[in-house]
Amino acid sequence: MAKIAILGSSFGGLTAAFELKRLLGSQAEVTVISDDNRFIFMPSLPWLIMGWRRPEDITLNVSEILKSKGIQFIHEAAIGVDPETAKVKTTTKEFSYDHLVISTGPFLSFDEIPGLGPDKGHTDCTFTLDHAVRTGQTWKKILEDPGPVVVGSSQMVSCFGPSYELAFEMDAELRRRKMRHKVPIIYLTSEPYLGHMGVGGLGNSKRFFEDEFADRDIKSVVSQAIEEVTPGEIKLKDGTKIPFKLAMIAPPFKGVPAVAPLGNPRGFIPVDKNFRHTKHKNIFAIGVTMAIAPPEQTPVPTGVPKTGFMTVKMAKTAAATIYSDIKGTPPPPMTELEVVCLMDMGNTAALMKASPVLPPRQSSFTKKGIWAKWMKVGFEKYFLYKMKNGLSNLP
C-alpha cells in the first residue's frame, strides 16, 4: 500500500488528502501532519477583525473531518524532511513516505523588519486567526478612541488582497458610524503602483484602486520598503515617518523552516507544471509554499500571490499526478493557473480575474458590484461545507 504524507491541513493539505483518498481508497495510506488542528477559512479574517464574524463561524476541526474520511492525522509540527531517505521528522516521530505533498503555507518573517509584528513588535497582522483576533481588539480601541490607521504590506509580501479589503472595510464602517473624519487611513505598500497585487495588475486594477481610494479619501504610499517600526511610528527606507494608532502590516513571506531547505533562497519550493519538485520526483509542493517567479522586477521586491482558488487547483493536480504515478497511467494535463478573487469593499465588492496568473493574458479584469459581495458570502458558506464534508470533487 502506498504511503502518502501531507504536510499542512489548510486549503492545500486538506484538498490533497481528500482527493488522494477519493482516488486511491484502500490502495493508499494517507496521513496529514499539521501543527494546527483547526481549518480556518482565512478569506474571512478581515471580516473577523471588523467584528462581522466570530472565530467559530469560520473554523473547522481537522481531526474530526479526516477521521470520518479514513485519513490519519498527526497533530505535530514537521521539523524536517530528508528527501534521500524519504522521511519526515516531526517533534516526536519519524515518518516514512512513498509520496510527500507539502502545503505548509508561508512563514511570517516579522524579524526581518525591526519592530514589526504583534508578538515582538508594534504592528498588527491579519494572516492567522490568533493575530486577526488581536487586530480586532486594536480596531475596537480605534472606534472608542480614534486615531490614524495604516494598512498595507511590507517588502517581500505576496498576498495583498486582505490589506485592500481592510482599508475599504474600515472606511465603510467608520462612515456608517459617522466618524470617518476622525480616522485618517493610509494604504502603505511595496507594490510599484496601486492594484499591482504582485501580478502586474488585473485589467484596469491600477485606475480602479486609484479612483476608489480617491472617492473614499484613502491616501496611498506605494513602492516603499519599511526600515523599522517604533511605538506609534513606521519609518520607511527613504526616511519618511508615518504615525499610526493601528498599523496592520503584512510581514515578509518566507518558506516554513522545516521545508525551506528543499526550496530557493527564500525557502519557496521549485516545482514543474504538475507541482512535482524539480529534483525530488516523489515530493510535491502546492499553495503558498511553492515558488512562482515574479512577472517583473519591482523597485521594492514583491511576490506572486498563491490564492486559495489556485491552491485548491494545485492540490487536485498534484493528487491526480500521484494517482497516475501509482497506477502507471498517463499524468493529468498541466494546469494553467489563474487568479479569481472576490474582494470585499465594505459596502460593495469586486471580482478580480487574471488568466493566466502572469501577463500576457487571455483575460484579465476587475469589476465592482454588490453581486460580488453576495458571491463572496456564498463562497464562504460553500467552501466550509465542502471542507467539512470532504467533498473535494466539487468545483
Binding site for ligand FAD (CB under 6 A): 7-13, 33-36, 42-43, 45-46, 77-78, 103-106, 126-127, 159, 161-162, 256, 258, 287-289, 306-309, 311, 341-342
Residue placing its CB nearer to ligand FAD in the complex, 326 or 339: 339
| Residue 125 among the catalytic residues | no
Whole-angstrom CA distances from 54 to 47, 143, 353 are 9, 18, 29
Residue placing its CB nearer to ligand FAD in the complex, 146 or 302: 302
CB of 225 to ligand FAD, least distance (A): 21
Residue placing its CB nearer to ligand FAD in the complex, 39 or 146: 39
User: What does the DSSP 8-state code read for residue 177?
Assistant: T
Angle between helices 161-176 and 205-216 (to 10 degrees): 30
Determine which one of 341, 343, 350, 357 is catalytic: 341
By the 10 Å C-beta count (0-12 exposed, 13-18 middle, 19+ buried), 199 is classed as buried
Determine which one of 62, 159, 185, 372 is catalytic: 159
Q: Which three cell numbers stand for residue 357?
A: 496568473
CA 358, distance to chain mean position in Å, is: 18
CB of 76 to ligand FAD, least distance (A): 7
CB of 129 to ligand FAD, least distance (A): 10
Each as own residue / partner, the long-range contacts of residues 368-375 (CB below 8 Å, 24 or more positions apart, any chain) are 368/208, 368/212, 372/342, 372/343, 372/348, 373/344, 373/345, 373/348, 373/349, 375/342, 375/349, 375/351
CB of 314 to ligand FAD, least distance (A): 8
Residue placing its CB nearer to ligand FAD in the complex, 24 or 342: 342
Question: In this structure, are residues 185 and 166 in contact, taking their beta carbons and an 8 Å threshold?
Answer: no
Residue placing its CB nearer to ligand FAD in the complex, 289 or 366: 289
CB of 323 to ligand FAD, least distance (A): 20
CA 6 to CA 90: how far, in whole Å?
12
Enzyme catalytic residues = 159, 341
